[in-house]
Amino acid sequence: MIKQVRVRYAPSPTGYPHMGNIRTALFNWLFARHSGGSLIIRIEDTDVSRKIEGTVEAILDALHWLGMDWDEGPDVGGNYGPYFQSQRLDIYHKAAEQLISQGNAYHCYCSTQRLDEMRAKQIKLKQPPGYDRHCRNLSREEKAKKEAGPITPVIRSKTPLEGQTRFNDLIRGKVAFKNATIDDFVLLKSDGYPTYHLASVIDDHLMEISHVLRAEEWLSSTPRHLMLYRALGFEPPQFAHLPILLGADRSKLSKRHGAMAITKYREQGYLAEAIVNSLALLGWSLDDKTEILSIKELKNSFSLERVNRTAAIFNKDKLEWINGIYIRGLSLEDFSKRSLLFLENGLPPEIKRPLSADYIRQVLPLIQERTKTLAEVAELTQFFFANELNYESDLLIAKKMNQALAVQALQTSFKRIEQLAVFDTESLEVILRPLAEELGLKTKQLFSTLRVAVTGRTVAPPLFLTMSVLGKECCLNRMREAITSLRKMRK
């Protein structure tokens, strides 16, 4: 019988979700949705000292924002809960006791000081790290003595000393580890919390997880887990370790590569669709060339067979490029709606609020083509909203022009524009294009002077469109100001 697909995303609430964590969540989600299975969210909060308040909410919020949903989890419940490991301590204790009674685990009373000394010695002698099994074979008397002492013991696994642990990873193929290289790792800590290894195995079993899709950094934990599955008489799930994520320089992904918390990408105006698309390509591809895939297409085509073994490179420029493509694909309505908050927050406070929704809809089509993130919208459109432009007057003097010519160009344009009964792109075209020749200027020169006068910038959206959106009165005012400022310039 083919087992129903049940996968889990099991974050630890020890930090804000970043690209790596969310890529794992996404692959699990795509795998579940593609196969008609279930996605379970489980919070692995067994490291009390590393827990950061608010991160569970941040993780769930990021997943929601990106459009993922789940069938069971801390917020939606389910038949296999509780979904916080901190609420399942009894279950882990029972399992640890069972392992002890079967001879697969033992109490260890070593003090932190002893463990530190042992570690220092191993470093000095260049020995591999790991517990030296000091308490593995304590006699009944020794154990009784330790029990009477001050140390609360931990429970360690009695790891087999010989043989190999092998498994078939769905991405990496055959993997084998020598058991002798695996130390007697801790299962239950002295604070009563389980370690990741114990909790993860018990829960994956009890939650009937069929496939464990997780980052490659957990590959070396898998033999430990398989030992526990065997000792507890559980059938292990299938494993698939996702390729490591690196920065463009092939070093570990870090803030330096622009790998920030996902929430920061939202604040910077990345679209959820673009993030999902980019993350999906970090280790998976449809056919090695398709770069743009909608969420629906991803769900339809995702498979573990097309997940690479080799490291996936995160490239912020590529993300930006993909984001630009998604922004260009938005309807005007959607683009306006998504830009509003960025405009409200990004435009200088002296600009009158509320901003006019109608005016925004006129402005935005002019910059949509050039926008790579929604956060740029405020900067790109500021001159449409500003009461005053701030720029250096000499920008008004285009190449191979002089001050007098610039003044003349603006004055003549001013007069012609003033007389226009209809102020739109066609009428501007009709009067301004021939004017350049009349003034003995290249159109490029005249348009450059006008562009700076009405926008304060040398680079802006198409001139006549810009002017028609700004309106006749605003353009004339700005041209008048430009003439005054040119006049004030020293020759």
Residue ranges binding ligand GLU (CB under 6 A) = 10-12, 44, 196, 200, 214, 218
Of 203 and 376, the one with the shorter C-beta distance to ligand GLU is 203
The full DSSP string for 139-196 is -HHHHHHHHHSSPPPEEEE---SSSEEEEEETTTEEEEEEGGGS---EEE-TTSPBPH
Of 15 and 365, the one with the shorter C-beta distance to ligand GLU is 15
Least distance to ligand GLU, CB of residue 214, Å: 3
Residue 252 is among the residues annotated as catalytic for this protein: no
- Are 483 and 407 contacting, i.e. CB atoms less than 8 angstroms apart? yes
- Are 396 and 482 contacting, i.e. CB atoms less than 8 angstroms apart? yes
Least distance to ligand GLU, CB of residue 246, Å: 17
- Are 105 and 155 contacting, i.e. CB atoms less than 8 angstroms apart? yes
Return the structure tokens found at 12: 């630890």
Which residue has the CB atom at the shortest distance from ligand GLU?
214
Of 218 and 321, the one with the shorter C-beta distance to ligand GLU is 218
Of 214 and 478, the one with the shorter C-beta distance to ligand GLU is 214
Of 42 and 372, the one with the shorter C-beta distance to ligand GLU is 42
Least distance to ligand GLU, CB of residue 30, Å: 16
Annotated catalytic residue, options 145, 255, 337, 352: 255
Least distance to ligand GLU, CB of residue 308, Å: 19
Phi, psi values for residue 152, rounded to 5° = -80, 125
> Mapped to the 3 state alphabet, what secondary structure does 350-363 carry?
CCCCCCCHHHHHHH
The single residue listed with the structure tokens 């908050």 is 341
Of 104 and 200, the one with the shorter C-beta distance to ligand GLU is 200
Distance CA 413, CA 393 (A): 18
- Are 80 and 206 contacting, i.e. CB atoms less than 8 angstroms apart? yes
Least distance to ligand GLU, CB of residue 111, Å: 28
Check residue 310 and report its DSSP letter: S
Mark residue 55 as left, alpha or beta (left: phi above 0; alpha: psi -120 to 50; beta: remaining): alpha
Least distance to ligand GLU, CB of residue 315, Å: 23
Distance CA 399, CA 435 (A): 18
- Could you tell me which of 399, 398, 404, 387 has the C-alpha nearest to residue 489? 404
Task: Count Cβ atoms below 10 Å from residue 459 Cβ, excluding itself.
Answer: 8
Supply the residues annotated as catalytic.
Answer: 255
